[in-house]
Chains A and B, each alone.
Chain A
Amino acid sequence: MAEKQRGRASDRLRSGISRRDFLRGSGALAAATALRTATEAAAAPAGAASVVGPGPVPVTLTVNGQTHRLKLEPRVTLLDALRNHLDLTGAKKVCDRGTCGACTVLLDGAPVYACSVLAIDAQGHKIETVEALSPDHPMIQAFVDHDGLQCGFCTPGFVMAAVAFARQNPECSEEDVCRGLSGNICRCGTYVGIREAVVEAARKMRGAANA
């Protein structure tokens, strides 16, 4: 019985779809059934999306309001592009697997893990890194005032996640901060100061320009 089920399942996999599941698509889609290999598709005529790489290709990034034209392999992450190609080292490489938050930057205002975004994919988006913040930004000042940092390696990522959070939650409580910053990890144990800092900075940021 199990044997049989497995057989059916793999048949289905091989053909891509099973008869039963097949639903006739729209005219345009139904017509587009040419089966091509990856190499053939790579040579697709104009009109189809252009395939680039694997070698370096032009990549234009808008970081902190500045336009940067780079040549990068498609596999270069946004984090590596920032750090290794633009020398913007505020975002840190720690886990490099989208877990710790040390590489947090803002993409169109929303915090993301730069280690898990391809640079080529970040084109056309507004990228903000910690370097965009003036050193007297209320969030940075609050982190210092409440000593929400020790070794400091997680801190820029926390600050960026906190800035995005505070812009949305000016009246936040420490409990809200705990929920809003659950995508970042600190090893030194600075959470007590961070909780206080973000609550305070969120209120200050509301009235401030460029916050």
Chain B
Amino acid sequence: MNAFEYASPQTVQEAVELLGPGWQDSAVLAGGTDLLSLMKDGIVSPRRLVNIKRIRGLDRIELIGDVVRIGATVTLEQLLRDATIAARFPSLTQAAAGVTSPQIRNMGTVAGDLCQRPRCWYFRAGFGILATGPDGEPLVPAGDNRYHAIFPEGQAYYVHPSSLAPALIALEATVEIHGPQGTRELPVEELYRIPGSNNERELNLGPREIITAITIPANGVKNATYEVRQRQLLDWPLATASVALRLSGRKVVSARVVLGHVGPRPRRATGAEAVLNGAELNEQRIEAAARAAVQGARPLSRNGYKVQLAQVAVKRALASLA
């Protein structure tokens, strides 16, 4: 880990002022579970870390009217234990529980979960976010892509590792972002982007911006997350599905289905949603929705199995609500 400056501001405003204009200038430190590893591996070497854990008020979960507001530095463990979340958003509780290490849950924050970098082993070995070889050629399609995207986008073959993002997207959550020019809000769905080069990031977030909170409308949708993981030990999911259904009896008024770990950003399965919208939630519909969810998948040489896993995840997530 290269040497760096460190600051621990008490307000969001101070924190924003402490951040520099380029990614190499500074980084926001929350749980540190990913950032410190990236720095040890020399994948990022920011000259300054700005710790946001001492900023008051960012570590709370609040129900304000019909909106649940989750502070950026709320830990995964806090999220997992929160009764408001468990009652309204079991899909979030389930996703947090999927991070099976208590240590990671105690350290890792919800904003950190959204902003963590992909685990692609080419990226982590220094080949860049797009995993390109010495001549700029993409390494993933001809390489070992067993954990990579079945819905690659552009030149991006990694999968986004966030545990919470698929559930948050299904729940129509929004991130609150502070930057030099004030505050803005962004649907979690729009937080992710496809980098055009190895110098770009995979988030629609500037180097001087900080996620301060996540807000979720508490509008009574039934929701669930199902993760396919090989180990009970802390392990990355192979595919996940988060679903949120507005039901009228057994009839689906509207559905949101989001796949995780299948592409460089959490993937809205609009095909599956279309199958469910207006239909009765039964076994046949669930099967059809699961099939539709993976339609158009373009698996790579070694990850065809993930198409089935994603399908199973959708099926099981929906079945848990039926």
A and B touch in the complex (CB under 8 A): yes
Q: How far is the CB of A57 from chain B (nearest CB, A)?
A: 8
| Chain A residues positioned under 8 Å from B47 (CB to CB) | 38, 54
Contact assessment for B48 and A51 in the assembled complex, using a CB-CB cutoff below 8 Å: yes
Give residues 69-104 of A contacting B (CB, 8 Å): 73-75, 77, 96-99, 101, 104
A139 → chain B closest CB, angstroms = 16
Task: Give chain B residues whose Cβ lies under 8 Å from the Cβ of A35.
Answer: 21, 180, 208
Partner of B51, one of A33, A34, A57, A121: A121
In the complex, the chain B residue whose C-beta lies closest to that of A6 is B196
Q: Report the bound CA distance from A204 to B308 in whole Å.
A: 47
**Cα separation A116 to B180 with both chains bound (whole Å):** 29
Chain B residues 271-303 with CB under 8 Å of chain A are: none
Q: Would A182 and B184 count as touching, CB distance under 8 A?
A: no
B58 to chain A, nearest CB (A): 14
Contacting residue for B104 out of A22, A98, A107, CB 8 A: A98
Q: Is B185 in contact with A9, judged by CB distance below 8 angstroms?
A: no
Verify if A192 is at the interface (C-beta below 8 Å from B): no
Judge whether B305 is part of the interface by a CB distance below 8 angstroms.
no
- Chain A contacts of B106 at CB under 8 A? 107, 110-112
| Complex alpha-carbon distance, A50 and B32, angstroms | 20
Collect the chain A residues with CB atoms within 8 Å of residue B9's CB. Answer: 48-49
A28 close to B180 (CB less than 8 A) = no
Contact B17 A41 (CB under 8 A): yes
Q: Does A136 contact B (CB under 8 A)?
A: no
User: How many A-B pairs fall under 8 Å by CB?
Assistant: 201
Q: Say if the beta carbon of B160 comes within 8 Å of chain A.
A: no
Tell which of A12-20, A126-134, A148-156, A195-203 binds the partner. A12-20
Q: Which of B95-103, B140-148, B240-248, B313-321 contacts A (4 or more CB under 8 A)?
A: B95-103
Contact A116 B36 (CB under 8 A): yes
Docked-complex contact B183 and A26, CB < 8 angstroms: yes
**Bound form: Cα–Cα A15–B208 in Å:** 10
Point out the residues of chain A lying under 8 angstroms from B107, CB to CB. Answer: 98, 112-113, 116-117
Instruction: Report which of A12, A116, A120 forms a contact with B6, defined as CB distance below 8 A.
Output: A120
Contacts of A57 in B (CB 8 A): 6
Closest to B50 in A: A49
Whether B179 lies near A17 (C-beta < 8 A) is: yes
Q: Which of B61-69, B84-92, B126-134, B198-206 contacts A (4 or more CB under 8 A)?
A: B198-206
A37 located at the interface, meaning its Cβ lies under 8 Å from any Cβ of chain B in the complex = yes
Contact A183 B154 (CB under 8 A): no
Residue contact A161 to B180, C-beta cutoff 8 Å: no
With a cutoff of 8 Å between Cβ atoms, the chain A residues found around residue B178 in the complex are 25, 29
Q: Is B17 touching A97 in the complex (CB atoms < 8 A)?
A: no
Contact between A23 and B33 (Cβ–Cβ < 8 Å)?
A: no
* Contacts A29-B12, A44-B17, A117-B32; A74 near B180 (Cβ below 8 A): no
- Assess whether B101 is in contact with A16, with CB atoms less than 8 Å apart: no
22 pairs across A/B with beta carbons < 8 Å? A6-B194, A9-B193, A13-B204, A13-B206, A16-B180, A16-B181, A17-B206, A21-B186, A23-B183, A23-B185, A25-B178, A32-B180, A48-B17, A49-B9, A51-B5, A98-B37, A101-B101, A113-B33, A120-B8, A164-B102, A182-B101, A182-B233
Which 3 pairs of residues, A with B, have the shortest CB-CB distance?
A183-B101, A25-B182, A16-B206
> Which of B's residues lie within 8 Å of A, judged by CB?
1-10, 12-21, 25-26, 29, 31-33, 36-37, 39-41, 47-49, 51, 53, 77, 100-104, 106-107, 154, 177-186, 193-194, 196, 200-201, 204, 206-209, 232-234
